[in-house]
Chains A and B, each alone.
Chain A
């Protein structure tokens, strides 16, 4: 594989960049693989990469209905963080932060990981107390957390509304300085390029239509491009999890909902990190191009449409305007939607299933992007070793029946409130 560097860039400049190698091939599906990963999003691509790299399993195919990077890995708001309170979530995502820090070098692809910090704003004493508690939990797990008072927040985001007239005054906030953003497309492409180089077949425009299960054991899958035998199959399909689960006669603690995001026209640099509003559901960061990247609530009803409705965007931006009045002067560039696999406790599932050789990776809610590396890493381990890793030992499917929920926000089973 051609290494990407300043020297290869100069060399290719002499041929007008016409002779770059393709980053990944377009293979015809073979009749049999050791492992088939369904879903060519960030998590599926990362899983295939770590299967090849960490476990030397290279006879692997990724089956993608659309094109790689066309789903949620290209639709999220690129936020990376590990500011969780529960040990299982905190350890899992902090391991992921370590993978992020070295990802550009490891993949030889600039994923533009930019740890500029995230601030969760508090608008009451009670919220400050809750954040102090969460910050302490984070620090016990070795994650950096800083409780900011009103003046400290004002230094970091002076453009927020600090006037006396606001309905929800800023009391302070909880900051994770090591959190940040990354270029989401580059993450998908970087993993795809390396996985392809190690022998993984990336098969795009191939829909899974059914499964071959004999005596409780997976034998292969049926696709729009023919049957494929497989010793092991991993499901990594986010919002489409329930569609495939139905073909397997499985019912899961998951509902699919649509989440919208939007960007403004590009403006000069004004916001350094990520900021979340604490009195409504709204978060914002500024991309390297200068666009303000914003998101918030789910549309609030089961949906498989990768688009949403205007009332939700209006509602989310009302919160945004309350926090940052300058947003009212900006033009909206575009809005879009992605479909979320909302689990009943808000935490993901990476586990084996009751079918031998079938593995499940789902329930990411709207926080899947930040976990892309660690999800792939632990899912690859679970598939290769046929057992969960310590890191995902609490992210199991049976936690709903045993009562060991990881309900980080304490919202219960109303997934659409999110």
Chain B
């Protein structure tokens, strides 16, 4: 079981959360010309690193907020969590 520290609710079990994927993927700006390649990169291309990974989770059985989590994909260790509006360095 992973234990994830929700920035709003504190430490909670993984079962309360739902995964949302890579948090570093940036949607192209709206109302601007978007090349097929940029669109392709946004929708499909993922780095999927072995090691530190910044990802989105939703505290679906809690406050229902989306949060950012920095986690190691090889050991599952969680280093840091933050609100989506905050940066993880």
Chain B contacts to A: CB under 8 angstroms: 1-2, 14-15, 19, 21-22, 36-37, 40-41, 43-50, 53, 55, 71, 73-76
13 CB < 8 A contacts A-B: A242-B50, A246-B47, A246-B49, A252-B45, A300-B19, A301-B55, A302-B55, A303-B74, A303-B76, A305-B74, A309-B76, A311-B15, A344-B43
B13's closest neighbor in chain A, by CB?
A: A311
Contacts of A95 in B (CB 8 A): none
Given contacts A311-B1, A413-B43, A416-B21, contact A255 B74 (CB under 8 A): no
Contacts of B22 in A (CB 8 A): 255, 302
The reply on A400 being an interface residue by CB < 8 A is yes
A interface residues, how many (CB within 8 angstroms) = 24
The reply on A355 being an interface residue by CB < 8 A is no
Chain A contacts to B: CB under 8 angstroms: 242-243, 246, 251-256, 300-305, 309-311, 344, 400-401, 413-414, 416
* CB-based contact A251/B41 at 8 Å: yes
* CB-based contact A243/B15 at 8 Å: no
A-B residue pairs, 5 tightest by C-beta: A253-B44, A242-B48, A251-B45, A304-B50, A255-B48
Contacts of B53 in A (CB 8 A): 302
A296 to B73, CA, bound (A): 21
Contacts of A310 in B (CB 8 A): 1
A302 to B15, CA, bound (A): 16
Given contacts A305-B74, A309-B14, contact A243 B50 (CB under 8 A): yes
Contacts of B37 in A (CB 8 A): 401
* CB-based contact B45/A301 at 8 Å: no
Contacts of A305 in B (CB 8 A): 73-76
Known: A254-B48, A309-B14. 5 other contacts (CB 8 A): A251-B47, A303-B73, A303-B76, A304-B74, A414-B21
* CB-based contact B73/A256 at 8 Å: yes
Given contacts A300-B19, A304-B74, A344-B44, contact A309 B2 (CB under 8 A): yes
* CB-based contact A413/B44 at 8 Å: yes
B39's closest neighbor in chain A, by CB?
A: A401
A255 to B48, CA, bound (A): 5
Contacts of B76 in A (CB 8 A): 303, 305, 309
A400 to B22, CA, bound (A): 18
A301's closest neighbor in chain B, by CB?
A: B19
A78 to B50, CA, bound (A): 27
* CB-based contact A254/B46 at 8 Å: yes
Of A246, A254, A303, A309, the most chain B CB neighbours within 10 A belong to A303
* CB-based contact B47/A242 at 8 Å: yes
A260 to chain B, nearest CB (A): 13
* CB-based contact A400/B44 at 8 Å: yes
Contacts of B44 in A (CB 8 A): 253, 344, 400-401, 413
B53's closest neighbor in chain A, by CB?
A: A302
Given contacts A251-B46, A401-B37, contact A304 B21 (CB under 8 A): no
Given contacts A242-B48, A309-B2, contact A401 B15 (CB under 8 A): no
A43 to chain B, nearest CB (A): 19
A340 to B49, CA, bound (A): 14
Given contacts A305-B75, A309-B1, A311-B1, contact A400 B40 (CB under 8 A): yes
B47's closest neighbor in chain A, by CB?
A: A251
* CB-based contact B45/A253 at 8 Å: yes
B76 to chain A, nearest CB (A): 6
B62 to chain A, nearest CB (A): 16
Contacts of A309 in B (CB 8 A): 1-2, 14, 76
A252 to B53, CA, bound (A): 16
A371 to B6, CA, bound (A): 42
Contacts of A413 in B (CB 8 A): 43-44
